[in-house]
Amino acid sequence: MDLNQLEEQLARIKAEAEALRQEADGIDALRSAETRLTKGPLADVLKSIKAFPPDQRGPAGQAINKTKQEIKQLFADAQSRLRQADVVGEQKKTATFDPTLPPPITQRGSLHPVTAVQREVERLFRGLGFAVVGGPEMETDFYNFEALNIPEMHPARDAQDTFWLTNGWLLRTHTSPCQVRAMERFGPPIRVIAPGRCFRYEAIDASHENTFFQLEGLLIDKDISIAHLIAFMKLLLREVFGRDVKVRLRPGFFPFVEPGFELDMSCMICDGVGCATCKKSGWVEILPCGMVHPNVLRYGKIDPHEYTGFAFGLGLTRLAMMKYGIADIRILNSGDLRGLAKADRLSGATI
């Protein structure tokens, strides 16, 4: 080999180094390419120095060392560029995370307004020694009307038209059938509440649905009077609304109580001014109640001379409307989350 041939050989090694640099996809690949070149072709040409005439060995060695340095530099530059790119990439990655930003909004479930208010009332009455009971939504004529002192052909039936089933049963129009069922089941003294779904064949508007919820209450014991009834009703509304609520008590006719009352609350949608929800009256019928009629006690096999009691039929759906400011009852059966899901009723919250 002469010096010219050596120069050509070194040029080929440099070209190979350049090609390997371009192919390398990381620091490790660069390191192994450099090692392969220095221990392979470069080491070979170094060994070939012995074959040069003595006066050419110096220039040959210098040419080989120069190429070796250039290749070293080439790989060193390439490694430093890659390291730099890595750092920038990392910076870019971490730059997308800003710990001061609020977390992404995730949709959480929330209790239905009626469920939320039902649980609240249940908690209150449980604390007052009441048991929570249920009753069938499919009822007999006997429990829905007859045992509540509403015989066939009684005009009070007209106010509660319902859906009749082919077997002669009906979809209950109120939770009051639970009164007689509780009397039969427990006997006196009794403290029960019975929340549940009711059905009426009804013209639908902002405050009337064909399917809605009531919560029945029944307390039977010795010496129970209207004073007890009023005290419990006031406590119930104060607890649900967290403050005294403006109410009015007026006589109400229900064949299963005597005397009977209609307890209305000032409409919370319009602050008592008058709106579609309260039919422009400023008042919402929410809590009819009264002293249990002796005939009903007799139907429940309780002696009216020994025991007295009060009963109430809370309009649970309307209570939820007042509590959560829902102006139209139709929203509650609609599945429209804009009206139904609210932060204070999120599952896992205080309920």
Residues 43-72 that bind ligand FA5 (CB under 6 A): none
Residues 6 or more apart whose Cβ sits within 8 Å of residue 124: 235, 236, 239, 240
What minimum distance in Å lies between the beta carbon of 213 and ligand FA5? 8
String marking each residue 170-209 x if it binds ligand FA5 according to CB under 6 A: ----x-x-----------------------x-x-----xx
Under the criterion CB under 6 A, does residue 285 sit at the interface with ligand FA5?
Answer: yes
Q: Which helix (H) or strand (E) holds 311?
A: strand 308-315
Residue in this structure with the two tokens 């050596």, named with its chain if needed: 6
* Structure token pair of residue 96: 């997308």
Residue nearest to ligand FA5 (CB): 315
Helices then strands (H, E): number in the chain?
11, 10
The two structure tokens encoding residue 171? 């979809």
The answer to the question of residue 300 lying near ligand FA5 (CB under 6 A) is no
Q: Output the six-digit token pair for 204.
A: 């639908």
Please report, as a single letter, which amino acid is at residue 200: R
Q: What are the C-alpha distances in Å from 245 to residues 12, 38, 218, 235, 278?
A: 97, 93, 22, 10, 16
x/- site string to ligand FA5, residues 250 to 269, per CB under 6 A? Answer: ----x--x--x---------
CB of 180 to ligand FA5, least distance (A): 12
Size of the site for ligand FA5 (CB under 6 A): 23
- The least CB distance from residue 264 to ligand FA5, in Å, is 8
Question: Which of 125, 130, 212, 299 forms a contact with ligand FA5 (CB under 6 A)?
Answer: 212
With respect to ligand FA5, which residue has the nearer C-beta, 16 or 122? Answer: 122
How far, in Å, CA of 279 to CA of 97, rounded?
Answer: 54
75 versus 254: smaller Cβ distance to ligand FA5? 254
For position 289 contacting ligand FA5 by CB under 6 A, the verdict is yes
Is 110 in contact with 207 (CB distance < 8 Å)?
no
Q: Are 56 and 3 in contact (CB under 8 A)?
A: yes
Question: End-to-end CA distance of the chain, in Å?
Answer: 93
Helix (H) or strand (E) holding 198: strand 190-199
Nearest distance in Å: CB 92, ligand FA5: 59
Q: Which is nearer to ligand FA5, 33 or 314 (CB)?
A: 314
CB of 68 or CB of 200, closer to ligand FA5:
200
Residue range at the interface with ligand FA5 (CB under 6 A); choices 18-26, 126-134, 233-241, 312-320: 312-320
Give dist(CA 148, CA 185) in Å, integer.
16
3-state helix, strand, coil in the chain (%, to 5): 50, 20, 35
Q: Does 139 bind ligand FA5 (CB under 6 A)?
A: no
CB of 285 to ligand FA5, least distance (A): 4
Contact residues: ligand FA5, CB under 6 A: 174, 176, 200, 202, 208-209, 212, 214, 254, 257, 260, 285-286, 288-290, 311-313, 315, 317-318, 329
